[in-house]
Structure 1
């Protein structure tokens, strides 16, 4: 039996060929069809470029768009809509259609819009931030105008980050920003625009909305000063649609942890 620490000549030759092939691929010396063939046979993670966007289904498209662009400062990438028909319906809703049939119920009763027949339509808008895109989606009846306040289904009344399957959007506050002041200004600007759902938590115990509003500004964020998360500052907040948001600031040791992880990730991607 061969010693695992001493590869045979064939193994060395194969390894050298793989290394040479990887170097040629990185240098752009491999013909495009061969590059594609190599990529398509590689690990799944090597075929990804990363996260392209987060999607949020909203009740009021114009209100949500105003919040993510005018309040939080994102920029519009594009908008499209009035989507209907068999292909888009099946693309988005096949799983829910099958579930309805297995339950023996009308798909509409479990929140499946009729894009197939066109009774409902789908509109989308994409908003660009520095490192990610957010997609806003609105399902509406065909008779309702694009961007209006009426959606196909009612929003969930109770949203908790403790629910399995619940997701949130996290925004990264710049290093030199006063976090507590940012939260104060966010709530003030949102209230001015009539977005009363935009409410951030407090780190002190409050038992009413009046108490929450009366809390001192230093209660607007939670600074972590020990352990692996040392340097992390955060607070959870609801958006104008009742969606779960988070705002974070990463400084000190935890900033280095994330920066090192990103640098290691970039090296890994280049080596693939």
Structure 2
């Protein structure tokens, strides 16, 4: 009976995410807000009808809907996140261009180019307005997170192309400000060292040579990294307040920064307590 309830809840959650994701993309494609939706959100005199609209900003959120990753090679990234890491495609959409899309996504960067008196392309701004470049997206569902893959491409390149509009940034260190990473949550009963070894092996089999995990011992060459003992795959944290973390940093096939973690014992309890506290706060 519990399994049935859990399955129903998961199906309902995925349905909501599909609807939310579709709404985002539909809004971009149309470049406008539905008049009916605007009217429904307001009461008499144009004031918000929902008391939640006067609550603190945090109480108006319901979590993170998705993370976005701009890629160079859409098919390669898609294969990694679905076939290697096991995500499920929600939907894909593409060929986005036009004034509304450009204004929604890139207005701040166009202002920056104007301020510098440079061609927007020189700072990596595509021309979706005229259709010279296009945007494609694919949404991938994991258990508690959606990943959106985005690719900006030239109009004459096919969807799923290995050629992006802009050159990728090489050798991206996590120390750079504004650098982000995607963190995947490994199940408690999984052998973390073996997971990392299997991830590297499967990625290498597919020619994804950038998928390389760091080691906890010092290595100076790729040969030394490969030769490190499997026990050096996992960094186990024992000092409070992070005691119970197990983690590894790894590059993805696009050179993106990834992290894989297990949260056990004390640190898992701290996250659970913080979540319960937040839920109490936003339901008051």
TM category, shorter: 0.7 to 0.9
Residues 34-62 of structure 1 show CA distances to partners (whole Å, capped at 9, x for unaligned) of 89431112211111111111000000001
For 1:26, the equivalent position in structure 2 comes to: none
Match of residue 200 from structure 2:
187
Please give the secondary structure, in 2, of the residue aligned with 1:229: coil
Shift of 1:259: 1.2
- Tell me the CA shift for residue 269 of structure 1: 2.4
Q: Separation in 1 of the partners of 2:280 and 2:156?
A: 52
State yes or no: 1:144 paired with 2:157: yes
Could you tell me which residue of structure 1 aligns to residue 57 of structure 2?
A: 44
Output the aligned Cα RMSD. 1.3
Show CA shifts across 1:1-21 (max 9, x none).
xxxxxxxxxxxxxxxxxxxxx
2:274 match: 261
* Structure 1 position 176 matched with structure 2 position 156: no
Partner of 1:76: 89
* Partner SS, residue 234 of structure 1: strand
Q: Does 1:93 align with 2:114?
A: no
Question: How many pairs align?
Answer: 240
Q: 1:132 aligns with which of 133, 145, 148?
A: 145
Paired with 2:54 and 2:266, the residues of 1 have a C-alpha distance of: 38
Aligned to 2:6: none
Q: Give the whole-Å Cα distance in 2 for the aligned partners of 1:206 and 1:37.
A: 57
Where does residue 211 of structure 2 map in the other structure?
Answer: 198
Which residue number corresponds to residue 154 of structure 1? Answer: 167
Equivalent residue, structure 2, for 1:20: none
- The structural deviation recorded for 1:268 is 2.0
TM-superposed CA distance for 1:33, in Å, is: 7.2
The answer to whether structure 1 residue 240 and structure 2 residue 253 are counterparts is yes
Larger radius of gyration: 1
Question: What is the TM-score when the length of structure 2 is the normalising length?
Answer: 0.82
Q: Which segments of 5 or more consecutive residues in structure 1 lack a partner in the other structure?
A: 1-31
For 1:257 and 1:41, how far apart are their aligned partners in 2? 30
Aligned partners of 2:119, 2:276: CA distance in 1, in Å?
50
1:138-186 alpha-carbon deviations (Å, 9 max, x no partner): 0000000000100000000120111111000000100000011000000
Ranges in structure 2 where 5+ consecutive residues have no aligned partner: 1-40
